[in-house]
Amino acid sequence: MKLHEPSTIRDIKDRYDFRLSKSLGQNFITDRNVITRIVDGADISPEDLVIEIGPGIGVLTAAAAERAARVVAVEIDRKLIPILEETLIGYRNIRVINQDIMKTDINEIIEEERHAETFRGDVKIIGNLPYYITTPIIMGILEKGVKAESITIMMQKEVADRIKASPGGKVYGALSVAVQYYCTVEDIASVPRDVFIPQPKVDSAVLRLRLRQESPVELTDKAVFFSCIKHGFGQRRKTLHNSLTGVGGLSKEQVGRVLEEAGIDPGRRAETLDMEEFAAIANGVAACCGR
Ligand code: SAM
């Protein structure tokens, strides 16, 4: 069964009386090349465990199962479970979990699979993410310290642009600094909107995020670093002297001193700071508030 073909998707919809849910971000891939780009980009080896977010009818799941030792796919829509049982019937190395990925403990799945000795290699996360929760899914994985080697995911192009942005650009923001703190970011593919059923209103892009083994900057307190990013970009049109006032409970005068000691002009805005500069400010704030 060629799962990416529109005729297959139509046939499944008819036979199971399945309606694609807009609210669950169900836009299914219909292009074999895109599937290949994602699984190639994920660099899956025969020893690896792949965790897929949102398998849909199983196009990526099947392609990943051809290359990996094991695939665990987490799908929220229970109506897709009997469909996946049919479409993935020939594969013995796939486990489907009917669950919300936001409520799923991915490290627990990894531990279970390791305990059952289903894989010996790395853990790679893949997915064509539902647009409505792309950012919470990515940040959830990163903040919870999921023990994966990489995350290769398709998302709305605008979100990919924000994730990979550099200082100075219009789309550079808290998401760019946060993701780049945890990962290196690589472009894998640009994907036009017309390769999905139904067609979304926006184009997509595939990124590979490789989790860093070590922090790219030295921090005395990670929470203060993220708080500085939040404050700075929370009021991105304000100067740092104003937007950072209140961070760590600091007064405007104290923020001025922190910026001066970090060698950063208080008239600059958050969107001009690179990660090293955010780290210098955060370490100054942490020292000033006794952390
Ligand atoms: N992987 C399939 C493909 O590429 O054709 C489907 C991708 S579709 C963009 C997103 C999938 O994620 C849908 O199957 C949807 O039901 C599922 N999904 C949406 N929200 C989810 C959540 N919170 N947890 C797990 N799966 C979710």
Does ligand 1 come within 6 angstroms of the Cβ of 176?
no
Question: For residue 55, what pLDDT is reported?
Answer: 98
CA distance between the termini of the chain? 59
Give the integer Cα–Cα distance in Å for 75 and 97.
6
Give the closest residue (by CA) to ligand 1 atom 17.
54
- pLDDT attached to residue 106: 98
Mean pLDDT of the chain: 96
CA of 77 to the centre of ligand 1 (A): 8
Residues of each annotated binding site? 27, 29, 54, 75, 100, 128
128 lines ligand 1 (CB under 6 A): yes
What's the rounded mean pLDDT across residues 60-89?
98
| Ligand 1 in reach of 28 Cβ (< 6 A) | yes
Q: How many CB atoms lie within 10 A of CB 114?
A: 14
Q: How far is the C-alpha of 58 from the C-alpha of 274, rounded, in Å?
A: 40
Q: Indicate the annotated binding residues for S-adenosyl-L-methionine.
A: 27, 29, 54, 75, 100, 128
Adjacent-strand bridge partners of 50: 71, 124
Does the structure show a pLDDT above 80 at 22? Answer: yes
Average pLDDT over residues 97-107: 98
pLDDT tens across 118-136, in order?
999 999 999 999 999 999 9
Measured CA to CA, the distance from residue 12 to residue 6 in angstroms comes to 10
User: What pLDDT is attached to residue 291?
Assistant: 66
For helices 275-288 and 174-182, the axis angle rounded to 10 degrees is 90
Q: What is the pLDDT of residue 183?
A: 98
The model's pTM: 0.96
Phi, psi at residue 281, to the nearest 5°?
-65, -45
Averaged pLDDT, 143-172: 96
81 in ligand 1 pocket by Cβ < 6 Å? no
Q: Candidates 28, 31, 137, 152: which one to mutate for ligand 1, based on the most atoms within 8 Å of Cβ?
A: 28
CB 195 within 8 A of CB 30: yes
Closest C-alpha to ligand 1, atom 21: 76
Distance 178 CA to ligand 1 centre (A): 24
| Ligand 1 touching residue 60 (CB < 6 A) | yes
Distance CA 18, CA 10 (A): 9
pLDDT of residue 1: 74
Residue 58 Cβ < 6 Å to ligand 1: no
* pLDDT per residue as tens digits for the range 56-72: 999 999 999 999 999 99
Count the alpha carbons within 13 Å of 29 in the hemisphere toward its beta carbon.
30
Measured CA to CA, the distance from residue 41 to residue 28 in angstroms comes to 19
Q: What is the mean pLDDT of residues 94-115?
A: 98
Q: How far is the CA of 99 from the centre of ligand 1 (A)?
A: 11
Domains in the chain, CATH or no CATH each: 6-211 (3.40.50.150), 222-288 (1.10.8.100)
C-alpha distances in angstroms, 107 versus 7, 114, 123, 144?
37, 10, 10, 9
Burial degree of 14 (CB within 10 A; 0-12, 13-18, 19+): exposed
Residue 161: closest CA among 215, 206, 211, 216: 206
- Ligand 1 pocket residue status of 76, Cβ below 6 Å: yes
**CA nearest ligand 1 atom 3, residue:** 28
Name, in order, each residue with C-beta under 8 angstroms of 240's C-beta and a sequence gap of 6 or more: 232, 255, 259, 264, 266, 267, 268, 269, 270, 273, 281
**What's the pLDDT tens digit per position in 208-241?**
999 999 999 999 999 999 999 999 999 889 999 9
